[in-house]
Structure 1
Amino acid sequence: MVEWIISNKEWIFSGLGIAIISAFFAILKTKTPKGGEGNLNVSGDKNVIGDGNILQITNLTEEKQQSNIKIVDISLNEDKEFIVDIKLRNIGDQVAYIKEISFDILDYYNIINPQMTHYQLVESSHTYDVVLGKEKQQVFNVSQSIGANEVDRFQVKLASSIAETRMVTIYYLTLSIIYDEDNKVVKSEKYLWAVPSISEYAACYISHTSMEIAKKNYLELKRMNNYDAIKSNHFISILKSYEENKSDFLIKH
């Protein structure tokens, strides 16, 4: 083997020893960043452990998923008032803030009263939470929050401003939930609802009945029934009533 003498001292290294030392310093050079000595600090969600020679990088936290609202169920109570019962779930990791609900009207028909009825109307003292008109999109403010992996339930009373007294408006629609500052949207299935009028009356009398109006109502109900939608019980009962009495107003040829 070749021997070397360094700095006039009697230290003797073999060629193999020099190769080991050179490799050691090469490792130090690659492990240590410029100007870096001792422990290192790295910003963000990573933690660096080491003494400048051996580094270990670990993730301290995983990024949280955004809020994510799912519609669990939308049901109706049509006994006295038309109440929509909405059940939601947030499957995300962050709180969701619901700020608006939107009724997207795909089609509608006002049931016309075939009985010529005269009313003694009174002003309603009841304020409905949501009154639908005939606009294609109708947005209403709400204020609900759902925690991460939690559920919520709230109700909306519906009425129609365009329905005649004692009659209903048939709405073919979807319901959208708008939430968070970036306006995320979750949309419901399609529904066919018979929404009552906002008007109230003290008394009435009927002068006569129009078979032509009854026929028009029946044909429009049949048309609306062709939509692929979840139909309310009230709509189904109205259509059934017209079906059972159609012989009275349909002209036979």
Structure 2
Amino acid sequence: MHGLDIAEVFLASQLESKLFVLSNDQIKQVLNSFESTPPAHNLKVVDFYEVQNDDQNDWADAATEVELKLRNAGSEVAFVKEVTFYTVKHWQLLTDRNHRAVDVSATYDISISEKTGSLAKKKIHHEIKPQETDRIRFKLHSKFSADPDGLSLYLIQVNVHYNEEMAPASFRQTLVNIRPPQVSEGSYFGGYSNETLKNNKNLAREILKLHTDGVGVEDYVIEVLESWMLAPDTL
């Protein structure tokens, strides 16, 4: 068709030889043509979890701390403007202790409501450089009068709003135990009521199912819930 005297297969080794006689700038230009350009704005929530306090006896600050791990996979700086905590659902695991409570004096960063569908917002100003990972902590508290020795469990959907025109970065729904703003100064324990047994077993069954479906739950909460699954239905 083209009036060639010789026509043969052009081998990969021959292509390689042609490439490497070019200048470095030319080689880079050729190779970059096969690489996808990262989007300008692409912030991801890598992880969201409750920070464990090693000193369980330190009640000087009883706030629940959670940590967000963020990664900017974009080519431009991500300006984080706001973080929201959406209460998907709330449960309370009871102990049937009768408490005489004393308030703890502390300052918290954000207040979470136990009401389903409530939204807590926190305005922040935080920059994450391109292709870098960062971690942000929040202290959570709630006005809900929870059992100081029980668990007050909040199913939370966290969203990170950044750069004016971008959709928020989100992470899977996560269960967080938000400790109440008071500790027990003294209590007596007279045994569990049948109502409490029913409440706690139903709660454990529901949350363990959520965990199986992919909701993030801390190991110590799983252990407590699994122990309640072994409890009798009535006493």
* Fold similarity call, TM over 0.5: yes
- Residue number among 108, 117, 120 corresponding to 1:138 in the alignment: 120
Aligned to 1:216: 199
Pick the structure with more strand per residue.
1
Question: For 1:221-253, what per-residue CA distance to the aligned partner results, in whole angstroms no more than 9, with x for missing partners?
Answer: 212221221211232022022123x12xx139x
Kindly report the root-mean-square deviation, in angstroms, between the aligned alpha carbons of the 2 structures.
2.5
Aligned partners of 2:205 and 2:229 also within 8 Å: no
Aligned to 1:95: 77
Using CA pairs below 8 Å that are at least 6 residues apart, which structure has the higher relative contact order?
Answer: 2
Aligned to 2:48: 74
- Residue number among 222, 226, 229 corresponding to 1:240 in the alignment: 226
Count of residues paired in the alignment: 185
Deviates more, 1:93-102 or 1:192-201: 192-201
Matched, 1:186 2:169: yes
Distance 2:111 2:149 in 1: 16
- Residue number among 141, 150, 153 corresponding to 2:132 in the alignment: 150
Aligned to 2:108: 128
Matched, 1:177 2:176: no
Q: Deviation at 1:106?
A: 2.0
Distance 1:160 1:167 in 2: 15
Distance 1:202 1:183 in 2: 48
Q: Deviation at 1:66?
A: 3.0
TM-score for both structures, normalised by structure 2: 0.68
Aligned partners of 2:95 and 2:147 also within 8 Å: yes
The amino acid that maps onto 1:190 is Q
TM-score for both structures, normalised by structure 1: 0.64
Q: Deviation at 1:187?
A: 0.7
Q: Deviation at 1:112?
A: 2.9
Aligned partners of 2:43 and 2:70 also within 8 Å: yes
The amino acid that maps onto 1:152 is D
| Gap regions ≥5 residues in structure 1 | 1-62
Alpha-carbon spacing, 1:234–1:142, altered in 2? closer, same or farther (3 Å): farther
Aligned to 2:216: 230
Distance 1:230 1:123 in 2: 30
The amino acid that maps onto 1:139 is K
Which is higher, the Rg of structure 1 or of structure 2? 1
Aligned to 2:26: none
Matched, 1:198 2:178: no
Q: Which runs of 4+ in 1 moved over 4 A?
A: none
